[in-house]
Amino acid sequence: MFLLAPLSSTGVDFPLCLVTFVVTGLLATVALVDALARKPVSRLRLLGWLVYPLAAGALLAIFLTSQSPANPLFRLRFELSRRALDAAAHAALAGTPPATPGWVGLFPIQHIEADQQEVRLVADACGVIDECGLLYRAAPLARARSKTKVKHVEGPWYHLYAVF
């Protein structure tokens, strides 16, 4: 259950990824030894063991692919938070952003940056020293940005990966 938070966030930072990967590996080892030590060996326990390497692999894949917004767990978290995110973006554009750090929907937001056309909701550290979050922009993006990767999520929302 612990892995649901990093697997559905806007980004995974290196220390959390490393610790989670190592702990998941240790739990997988314990679960495999337990499944093999029981006589007779239960196929159901061995099948259940597969959850650990699948979760560790998914965490590693998300970390290595720059926290893709195509991640189904991220998409679910985004959809469940959509109303709160829209409200926070509109409030920030009106000059009254929500207090940070705090929660906007199911996302822990560290800070909010707003100008006349867009709102950046920075949620997580990602990579080694970079930041990830969500970008709200009602108008389409006009140009490529240096040191910032944005990928369209839905409507006026984009996944934000800001390189330090």
Higher per-residue confidence, 134 vs 50: 134
Asked if residue 78 has pLDDT above 90, the reply is yes
Q: What angle separates helix 14-37 from helix 51-64, to the nearest 10 degrees?
A: 160
Confidence of residue 121 (pLDDT cuts 50, 70, 90): very high
The beta-strand segments (E) located in 21-114 are: 102-104, 107-109, 111-114
What is the torsional sign of CA 90, 93, 98, 102?
A: positive
Name which of 50-59, 72-81, 108-117 the model is least confident about: 50-59
Highest-confidence range of 40-54, 56-70, 98-112, by mean pLDDT?
98-112
Question: How many Å apart are CA 90 and CA 48, to the nearest integer?
Answer: 45
Please give the pLDDT value at position 69. Answer: 76
Q: Give the chain's end-to-end CA distance (angstroms, integer).
A: 31
Tell me what the mean pLDDT of segment 149-160 comes to. Answer: 89
The beta-strand segments (E) located in the chain are: 102-104, 107-109, 111-114, 118-126, 130-137, 148-154, 157-162
**Contacting residues for 164 by C-beta, under 8 A, at least 6 apart:** 129, 130, 131, 147
Asked if residue 66 has pLDDT above 60, the reply is no
Please give the pLDDT value at position 85. Answer: 96
pTM of whole model > 0.85? no
Tell me what the mean pLDDT of segment 42-57 comes to. Answer: 81
Name which of 96-100, 142-146, 159-163 the model is least confident about: 142-146
Higher per-residue confidence, 18 vs 127: 18
